[in-house]
Amino acid sequence: MNLPDNKNPLQPKLDYLYALDGKGIKPGLKRILEFLNRIGNPQKQLNAIHVAGTNGKGSTCAMLSSVLRATGLKVGLYTSPHLVHFNERIRINGNKISDAEIIGFLDKYQTVIENVDSTFFETTTALAFDYFQKNAVDIAILETGLGGRFDATNVVTPLLSIITPIGKDHEIFLGNTLAKIALEKAGIIKPGIPVISAKQRPQLRQILENEAQKNCCPFVYAPDCCQITIRKQFDDRQSITIKSDKFHFDELIFPLIGDHQLVNLKTVIAALNNLHMLKITPYAVESGIASTCWHGRLERLSRNPLVYYDVGHNLHGIRQIAQTLEKTFPGKKFKLLIAMGQYKNIDSLGKLLSKIIDEVFVSEIPGGQSIPAITLAAIVKRDLPAVTINIEPDLNLSLRRIMTSFGATDRLLILGSHYFAPVIYDFFKINV
């Protein structure tokens, strides 16, 4: 979320772009295909890796990008949403797209945007494709925005299709069962293109495998071709052993914590095993993984007191966060600062967090479509009747009060949304 700045020439352009969000989500690829056709179909000139799934997409993309950059390739990375600045969504070799590039594209193609009636995400996707093509990236890593089948990114024919763990999220658009959601995610599968799947529930694995078979695609199930053993765990990294078809490491430092990140790493290793057209060395894999940086995923913001921030905003992701902290800090309790966006299924939120939380601070997303703090507090209280619930809608004020009262041995988990990242990172003076 970009903070308003009347002196920033990009801001009026972003205001225009965000206004396209008012059109809502419009399933279908007709508009994005028409848009891209009018600007020269840049997507047809890209070598791409396409990533869909419910959780772990961003981390998977970040790891792949880091390894391929270590290989010496020029790598485009397209992810969403951003944390602080819109420019984070589109990167080449880790460098964010410039304000001038964004302004130039929107000025040049405003007529196209209006003629095809493109949405915010469709316009942003076209911008990413155009930018990557102009800069002749060797490979573009593309994260779906919502679902897969009708996602604006689903106009590429990639080198690989990757599907990360599937859970319930965006049920209004994707369906109210895991099977329906899996079919939407499987919509990125293209005829003859290898499919890499992360660990899935047996029913969902079968759905993905069936769709791959229908499309005559090789299907690679990551847990079957990669083994990872934890040697030692720290509060901000893990020391691990990796065994796979092509790569073997007796001790590798992995800078993301949690078993769910090991699931993502297995998926990345499986993908690297199957990028036969690229020469990927063990050194590139080791150095790329070790240097992966992906903000907002159980990111340690402070050591004393210990503060983590995670953008987890669905029950599948929050369950993984709770399990990681329970395993990493056995018997220890955290304070929780939470705010959640509207339309999220949070009925069992308190139950998921009950083993690790001893006090809750409920707030709201600044300027966003947030569940009212008092409503969220009541939902959490229902599952955690013995836990003190504090309500302060002003996130900045709540954060200041918490940190002022904390001692060096206290622990805090900040949870629930990408959209209060600007406040969080400004408070802890972290540049993303």
pLDDT in tens, 260-273: 999 999 999 999 99
SS3 content of the chain, % helix, strand, coil (to 5): 40, 20, 40
Confidence at residue 8, expressed as pLDDT on a 0 to 100 scale: 86
pLDDT: which is higher, 199 or 418 = 199
Confidence at residue 247, expressed as pLDDT on a 0 to 100 scale: 96
Confidence at residue 172, expressed as pLDDT on a 0 to 100 scale: 44
pLDDT: which is higher, 110 or 313 = 110
Report the C-alpha gap between 193 and 215 in whole angstroms: 8
Quickly state the pLDDT bin for 18 (edges 50, 70, 90). very high
Is pLDDT above 60 for 227?
Answer: yes
pLDDT: which is higher, 172 or 249 = 249
Q: Which of 155, 183, 188 is nearest to 31 (CA)?
A: 155
Which residue in this structure is represented by tokens 């071709």?
A: 225
Domain ranges of the chain: 10-290, 299-428
Is pLDDT above 80 for 96?
Answer: yes
Confidence at residue 169, expressed as pLDDT on a 0 to 100 scale: 63
The single-letter code of the amino acid at 353 is L
Q: Give the residue-averaged pLDDT of 98-125.
A: 97
User: What does the pLDDT look like over 300-346, one tens digit per residue?
Assistant: 999 999 999 999 877 888 899 999 999 999 999 999 999 988 766 67
Q: Which of 95, 101, 102 is nearest to 76 (CA)?
A: 95
Confidence at residue 121, expressed as pLDDT on a 0 to 100 scale: 95
Quickly state the pLDDT bin for 419 (edges 50, 70, 90). confident
Q: Which of 367, 298, 364 is nearest to 334 (CA)?
A: 298
pTM passes above 0.75:
yes
Quickly state the pLDDT bin for 171 (edges 50, 70, 90). very low
In sequence order, the 6+-apart residues with CB closer than 8 A to the CB of 261 are 56, 59, 238, 254, 297
Confidence at residue 7, expressed as pLDDT on a 0 to 100 scale: 73
Report the C-alpha gap between 258 and 233 in whole angstroms: 9
Report the C-alpha gap between 341 and 311 in whole angstroms: 11
CA distances to 250, 290, 359 from 243, rounded to whole Å, are 8, 16, 41
CA distances to 359, 419, 423 from 349, rounded to whole Å, are 14, 19, 23
Confidence at residue 378, expressed as pLDDT on a 0 to 100 scale: 92
Is pLDDT above 60 for 6?
Answer: no
Confidence at residue 346, expressed as pLDDT on a 0 to 100 scale: 72
Confidence at residue 322, expressed as pLDDT on a 0 to 100 scale: 94
Confidence at residue 368, expressed as pLDDT on a 0 to 100 scale: 72
Q: Give the residue-averaged pLDDT of 72-85.
A: 97
Report the C-alpha gap between 197 and 84 in whole angstroms: 30
Q: Which of 125, 80, 169 is nearest to 185 (CA)?
A: 169
Confidence at residue 79, expressed as pLDDT on a 0 to 100 scale: 98
CATH label, 299-428, candidates 3.90.190.20, 3.30.70.1230, 2.40.160.60, 3.40.50.1370: 3.90.190.20
Mean pLDDT estimate for the chain: 93
Confidence at residue 301, expressed as pLDDT on a 0 to 100 scale: 97
May I ask the CATH class of domain 10-290?
alpha beta
Is pLDDT above 90 for 1?
Answer: no
Task: For the chain, give the percent of residues with pLDDT over 70.
Answer: 95
Confidence at residue 25, expressed as pLDDT on a 0 to 100 scale: 64
